Amino acid sequence: SKKEIITTINNFKIPLLLFQNFARSMIYDIHNNGFKTFKDFLYYSEGASVAPASVFVHLSCLNQENGDYVTPSFDVIEVARPCAIFSYIVHIIRDFQKDQHNNLNYFALDILKKNRLSPVDLRRIADGAAIPDSFRSVIREYYSRAGYYNDKTKEELEKLKTKISPRYLLGLKIIHCLYLQIFDRIDVDKGNFSAEELNPTPMELKERVLKVITDK
C-alpha cells in the first residue's frame, strides 16, 4: 500500500531523488521510442538504471545506531552510476536481437547516423543479414563506452571496501561480475551478437559466481 511504501522509505531513509529520477524515465518511455543521442540515453539511464542501483547500494551501506538507520556518508548515486550504466550498455548489446524482434531500439540515433545506419538496417541484421562493418563500428563504440564504465565500477568497488560489510560488498561484486562475463563474450570483430553467442550457460554462470566467492 501507499502507506507501507512511505513507511519503508522513511524507515530506511531512501533519498526521494531516486524515485523522482525513476519516475522521470518512466514518463520518458511514454512519450518516446528510443534515443536521439547517446546523451539522451545517459539522461534516461539516471532513472531507469542508476536509480534502482542506487537504492540497492543505499540499503547495502546502511548502518544502525541506537535502533535507527544512519544514511551512508557518501553519494550512493555516484557509487552506483558506473556499474548501472555498464550493465545497461551490456544489456543493449546482449539483447540486440530480442529488442529488435520486439520493435525496440536502444541504440542512439546519432551513433547510427554517424555510421550510416538506420533502425531499418538493424532489423535486417537481427533477422540474420550479413553484419556490415558499419554495425561493428556501432558495437565497437558501445563496447568502448562500456569498458570505460567497467573501469569506473572497479574503482568504486575498491573504495567501498572500507565503507560496507563484506557480505554486501560481495553481492555488488557478483552483480558486476555477471555483466562482466557477458561483456567478455562480445567479439566486436568476428561475433554475430546473437543471444546464443552472448548469454552464458547456467553452468558458466555458476562457475563465475563461485570464482567471485572464493576470490573474495
Asked if residue 127 has pLDDT above 80, the reply is yes
Count how many Cα atoms sit within 13 Å of the Cα of residue 200 in the half-sphere of its side chain.
17
The pTM of this model reads: 0.94
Asked if residue 41 has pLDDT above 90, the reply is yes
pLDDT level of residue 64 (50, 70, 90 thresholds): confident
pLDDT level of residue 52 (50, 70, 90 thresholds): very high
How far is the C-alpha of 23 from the C-alpha of 45, rounded, in Å? Answer: 12
Asked if residue 94 has pLDDT above 70, the reply is yes
Asked if residue 177 has pLDDT above 90, the reply is yes
- The confidence score (pLDDT) of residue 216 equals 61
The size of the chain, in residues, is 216
- The confidence score (pLDDT) of residue 162 equals 87
Radius of gyration of the chain (CA): 19
**Contact in structure between 46 and 69 (CB atoms under 8 Å):** no
- The confidence score (pLDDT) of residue 65 equals 84
Q: How far is CA 193 from the centre of its chain?
A: 18
Read off the pLDDT of residues 166-175 as tens digits, 9 standing for 90 and up: 999 999 999 9
- The confidence score (pLDDT) of residue 174 equals 96
pLDDT level of residue 67 (50, 70, 90 thresholds): confident
- Residue-wise over 154-171: b if at least 16 C-beta within 10 A, else e? bebbeebeeebeeebbee
Read off the pLDDT of residues 4-23 as tens digits, 9 standing for 90 and up: 999 999 999 999 999 999 99
Range 172-181 average pLDDT: 96
- The confidence score (pLDDT) of residue 215 equals 84
Taking CA atoms, 20 is separated from 24, 36, 172, in Å, by: 6, 22, 24
- The confidence score (pLDDT) of residue 113 equals 97
E strand or H helix at 197: helix 195-198
Asked if residue 210 has pLDDT above 70, the reply is yes
Angle at 147 between CA 101 and CA 99, to 5 degrees: 5
